[in-house]
A = this chain, B = another copy of it.
Amino acid sequence: MREKKKLTIADIAKQTGVSKATVSRILNGKPDVAPETRERVFRAMEEAQYVPSVFATQLNRGTSNLIGLLLPSLTWPWVLEVIRGVTEHLEHSDYEVILLTSTTPERTEKLFRKTVGSGFADGLIAILPPNTTSFIEDVYMSQFPLVVIDDREAHKTEFPSVVVDNVTAAYQATRYLLDRGHGMIGFIGGPAQLLCSQERYQGYIQALREADRSVHETLSIMSDFTQVGGYQAAKTLFSLPQRPSAVFAANDLMAFGVIDAAQEARLNVPGDFAVIGFDDIPQAQFCQPALTTVRQPMYEMGKAAAALLIAQIGGQIVREKRIKLDTQVIVRASA
């Protein structure tokens, strides 16, 4: 109740008439302690509500049982899924998650210094903000346990990572549209410099080629992953002499924008114009019409990342460095 003063191992030792060493041994379940002593000291600790100082233990052991989770932004709805996956996997270990969010490369690096660099965290799970290549290379080279989720840039090195096969996923999406009989299919992509944007575009092209469709340059518009971006891109598409009958938007937010534009243009979705998205964010099932999309298993990716990291920390040689998780077309009402 009051526990004003913090108890130390010495207090317990004095109280039970043994040495600090013995208490420590008992604390850590070491062998070679008389059962009778163990019992007695245990009770004393219970009773006194003694909790060892994490600081001292950490200083001594050199590890913190803390895992950094570096997120570039908390505005994307799917990051919660990642967080859930990571924490849920860790729930049964004795690692805790320390949340690091940073929008700029500068702050990222500062955060890194404070946690990773000082050995404060035992490992790092990161969704990389753009332009952090060199920095993350350093982390990797320093042997620090690291797992990258959804690696969106091309790097010289291949970090341990958990990704989705964007090419295949985009292929699936396009293929789905093709199978539904669509002739002209538009593509609205993300920022061109992002690897994932490029890959999704590739998948789209690949599906078209495979179906012997000609690729019209004008049908592909690079946008910015935002809803208004999708809206504008859709308007461009609608103004084409020959309007496509369907579009694959490289993320759900843009797909929402497309639907907005379609409704504004009095186009029935999916009757007049079919839309498929990418991500499957929670909102996707609530919008009207509910969004058909390619699901990225963010929760599972978080889990896998945590598992991979723990393995690394445990010193295991991680064979399968790049884990690819499967995507899946979630058919709802928009396509």
User: Which residues of chain A have a CB within 8 Å of any CB of chain B?
Assistant: 1-4, 6, 49, 51-56, 58-59, 62, 64, 66, 69, 74-75, 77, 79-80, 83-84, 87-88, 91, 94, 96-101, 107, 113-115, 117-120, 138, 141-143, 256, 282-283, 286-288
- A292: shortest Cβ distance to chain B, in Å? 15
Closest 4 CB pairs of A and B: A288-B288, A55-B59, A74-B84, A286-B287
Interface of chain A, main secondary structure: mixed
Min CB gap A304→B, angstroms = 17
Min CB distance A322 to B, Å, is 23
Bound form: Cα–Cα A114–B98 in Å: 14
A87 lies within 8 A of B59 (CB): no
**Known interface pairs A6-B119, A74-B87, A96-B114; 20 further A-B residue pairs with C-beta atoms within 8 A, sorted by A's residue number:** A1-B141, A2-B142, A49-B117, A53-B119, A54-B64, A54-B118, A54-B119, A55-B64, A56-B59, A58-B58, A69-B99, A74-B80, A74-B84, A77-B77, A79-B80, A96-B100, A97-B98, A256-B286, A282-B282, A286-B287
Q: Is the CB of A74 within 8 A of B64?
A: no
Q: Are B87 and A83 in contact (CB under 8 A)?
A: no
6 residue pairs A–B, Cβ–Cβ below 8 Å: A4-B143, A55-B55, A69-B99, A80-B83, A97-B98, A282-B282
Q: Is the CB of A66 within 8 A of B118?
A: no
